[in-house]
A and B are shown apart, each in its own frame.
Chain A
Amino acid sequence: MGSKKTLLALGFFLILGVMSLVGSEVKASSPQLKITPELKEKFPMKPHHEKLAFKCVDCHEGQGDDPENFKAIDDKGCLSCHKTKQYLADRLKFMDALHVNPHNSIHDGPKLYCDECHFEHKKSENMCLSCHSNDVKIWMRPTP
């Protein structure tokens, strides 16, 4: 009699345990443009974006399916993930102490267009260098 009760209790907990394991959701797959090695070479991505396994359409949304016709996504596109220019400026606050924060410079404040320096599919260009050609490298790393 006692063992029957024990069995019942055990079974109850076993079922509860199994139930807690179930419930992982099925992943939805979305149609996507296939990223071929050729495409990757033609439009290389920045390593920090590459690591996140983005698809073309994650940025180039609603721009068709031909990469040749994709357009730059402008500030609005960048900031849809990167929040605001002020937020980006604040992340480099330590540079403000010496007035060398590229996102909050004494010339432009937090107002520059993203693509004045940053390019996703080619090498970025640090605009500060056009005047401060010698000292920029001691203030900051190459523009990501």
Chain B
Amino acid sequence: MIKKIFLIIKSNILLTALVGVLVGLLSSWILYEGLHRTSGDKFCVVCHEMKPMVAAYENDVHGGAGKTGIKVTCATCHLPHENVIAYIATKARNGVVEGAIHFFGNPDKIDWQANRANRQHFVKDEACFGCHTNYRTNESISEQGRKMHEHYASLEGTKNEIGCASCHAEVGHKGLRSMLNYYKPEYEFYKGKLDKKKEEAEKKLAEDLKK
């Protein structure tokens, strides 16, 4: 049987190559479409516990609130881009873990405010540089800004290495701390007193996600 297939391939080398190319292209296309259609706010929010984060994102320039309305997808900033295997592996792992927490875990127990301390691990610097290519030389950045960007670069590869988000605390999610407080206040004092703000935010978020 195998010998027969081998023979057919051997006698139709051109056809086999053509079929191979087609299969390769098709699977690349499926992978591409699959990855891209599952990387934005509308898809991610279905399982990921991230309503306040999305609400704050929609208010940020990265979430389409800028003059041009351009939106960066969740996966652009939050998934590693060094290589495609790590990208897919992280995406798959996060999908399973977050889905499990959403359906079987206790999302209310998650301390979002405390997790913000780990922000430099959630934001992939190589993704920032994907768009902000000239962050060290761009003259629209203040002198102090450029000086600090040099400082950042000087720490790369040392034990003191920092991330973009180490300084850019609410980058991508304008007013994140406030938004998190509307959903789940940091202090007892605010409990029940920010519900109106949460309602407003939820209403706006529902409209933004419909767009």
Contacts and interface: CB of A to CB of B under 8 A. Distances in A.
A2 to B, nearest CB: 11
Q: Among the interface residues A30, A51, A54, A97, which one has the most CB atoms of the partner chain B within 10 A?
A: A97
A93 B178 contact: yes
Contacts of A29: 154
B197 A94 contact: yes
B170 A53 contact: no
A52 B187 CA distance: 28
A134 to B, nearest CB: 12
Interface residues of B, number: 31
Contacts of B129: none
Contacts of A51: 162, 166
A81 B175 contact: no
A81 B142 CA distance: 9
A138 B175 contact: no
Interface stretch (B21-29, B42-50, B99-107, B188-196): B188-196
A82 to B, nearest CB: 10
Interface string A68-80: 0000000000001
B125 to A, nearest CB: 14
Could you say which of B145, B154, B155 has the most chain A C-beta atoms within 10 Å of its C-beta? B154
A10 interface: no
Given A92-B178, A138-B187, A81 B197 contact: no
A94 B189 contact: no
Contacts of A28: 150, 154
A38 interface: no
A7 to B, nearest CB: 18
Given A53-B160, A98-B193, A138-B189, A81 B144 contact: yes
A101 to B, nearest CB: 10
A26 to B, nearest CB: 10
Contacts of B177: 91-92, 94
B188 A93 contact: no
Interface in B142-188: 142, 144-145, 147-148, 150-151, 153-157, 160, 162, 166-167, 170, 175, 177-179, 181-182, 185, 187-188
B167 A81 contact: yes
Given A27-B153, A51-B166, A94-B178, 12 more contacts: A29-B154, A30-B154, A53-B162, A54-B151, A80-B142, A81-B145, A90-B175, A91-B177, A94-B179, A97-B197, A139-B187, A140-B187
Interface of B: 142, 144-145, 147-148, 150-151, 153-157, 160, 162, 166-167, 170, 175, 177-179, 181-182, 185, 187-190, 193-194, 197
